[in-house]
Amino acid sequence: MTSTKYRPRTIPITEIEQSAFCRSDSNLKSKTLAEELKAGVRWQRVPAEYRTLDTDEIIERTKHARAKLGNKIMVLGHHYQRDEVIQFADFRGDSYNLSKYAAEKKGLEAVVFCGVHFMAETADILTDTDVSVILPNLMAGCSMADMAKIEDVEDCWDEITGLFGEETVIPITYMNSTAAIKSLCGLNGGIVCTSSNAAKVFEWAFERGQRLLFLPDQHLGRNTGLKFGVSADQMVVWSPFKDHGGNSIQQLNDARIILWEGHCSVHTRFNVDQITIAREKYPDVNIIVHPECTQNVVKSADMNGSTELIIKTVTEADPGTVWAIGTEISLVNRLANEHPDKTIFCLDPVVCPCSTMYRIHPTYLLWVLEALNDGVVVNQIKVDEKTRLHALTALERMLSVS
């Protein structure tokens, strides 16, 4: 058996670009695309006529373009999108629920997914093959998904199964991963999970194998493992840039969960000091965070859960209650605006929207809608049939668990 192939450590460009839209004030109102193109990130170019449109013109033209398309299309908006985009969404939600909405709707010609690349891939996997799935800006990726490249994961899988045998290791990938990673899991007896059903998926997997390989977010994997009763010393982190993932053979042998070295660029910004400051300012504050946060943040919070759980908990809370939230700022601001009877704020005082989600500028939505009215499909996301079938297997296993 050979060790993992050595590759020099590389940081995904999406990770480097994460701070591009951070600011000290809470004003996230969209500027013209020409102004926002000055940010030091990768943007997909659009025809020059779109770049200087102001917000009012974009809104009016988008309303007109959307109305002309009628029921032939569906616009999906992830919770982390800008308000100027969310207002045009037929459905808003987390990545998997949005893809399910699209899959359940018959007679569609196109789905415009205002989210990031892996989400559009999942929508293409779940919808009928004659439905075109469109991502308004092809540069809207995901730093977490980019941290698990398929060739690195394949090397990891070959080494781990060479050590322990395929029948003893169950691969689990978080929904926030590429179609190729989902496909690898489906092909090898594995499964997909979301942040809301991860514990159930862990139970399913441990009924079938002695140890788990969890991709790509180490923090969700660790927090779920601890909740499931796996101790910290029974979990190791696999770095694709080190021999044996940076572990000894004995450490791997003792491990029940092997965590991929990945994380969310948004949720790892939160820290315990922010929680301490929130408690000092508001002694009766409720701290709720996403399980993609680090383990010490999750431990210090009052509760943790998926985006949908955070929304439900805060929405149903009593008037006058105070909530400090550890998740993406666009969602936190929206909750604060929709529930003025409560005090709602983000744990991080620096306003840092998800830089890849934020790349769905409303101009891009207008551009793809007007193109559809002209009979042109731009930015179609298409998963090849082999990848699609195995990824669908992993997703269907998740559905059977949930």
| Domains annotated on the chain, with CATH | 13-18+28-141+356-383 (3.40.50.10800), 145-263 (3.40.50), 267-346 (3.40.50.10800)
Q: How far is CA 160 from the centre of its chain?
A: 26
Separation CA 119–CA 99 (nearest Å): 8
pLDDT the model gives residue 9 = 62
Answer whether the bond into residue 216 is a cis peptide, omega within 30°.
yes
pLDDT for the residue 166: 84
User: Are 85 and 114 contacting, i.e. CB atoms less than 8 angstroms apart?
Assistant: yes
Does residue 272 sit in helix, strand or coil? helix
Kind plus residue range of the DSSP H or E element containing 211: strand 211-215
Residue 260: beta bridge partners?
238
pLDDT along the chain (402 residues), means of 10: 54 76 74 88 92 95 97 96 95 92 93 97 96 97 94 97 93 98 98 96 96 98 96 96 95 97 96 98 98 98 96 98 97 96 96 89 98 97 98 96 83
Backbone angles phi, psi at 162, to 5 degrees: -65, -35
pLDDT at 7: 59
Q: How far is CA 252 from CA 162, 218, 235, 257, in A?
A: 12, 16, 9, 9
The helix-helix angle for 385-401 and 117-126 (nearest 10°) equals 80
CA dist 1 and 4 (Å) reads: 10
Cα gap 395→258, rounded to integer Å: 21
Element (H, E) at 309: helix 307-316
Longest dimension (CA), the chain: 63
- Cβ neighbours for 280, distance < 8 A, ≥ 6 positions apart: none
> What pLDDT, on a 0 to 100 scale, did the predictor assign at position 15?
78
CA dihedral 76→79→84→85, nearest 10 degrees, is -20
**Structure token digits, residue 55:** 């917000």
Question: Quick one: CA torsion of 49, 114, 153, 386, rounded to 10 degrees?
Answer: -90
Residue with tokens 């929304």: 311
- CA within 13 Å, CB half, 272: 7
| Tokens coding 306 | 């998926």
DSSP string, 101-161: HHHH--S-SEEEEES-HHHHHHHHHHS-TTSEEE-S-TT---HHHHTS-HHHHHHHHHHHH
Q: Is the dihedral angle over the CA atoms 57, 63, 65, 66 positive or is it negative?
A: positive
Q: What is the pLDDT of residue 26?
A: 63
In a 3-state reduction of DSSP, which class is residue 351?
strand
43/199 Cα distance (integer angstroms) = 37
DSSP element (H, E) containing 391: helix 385-401
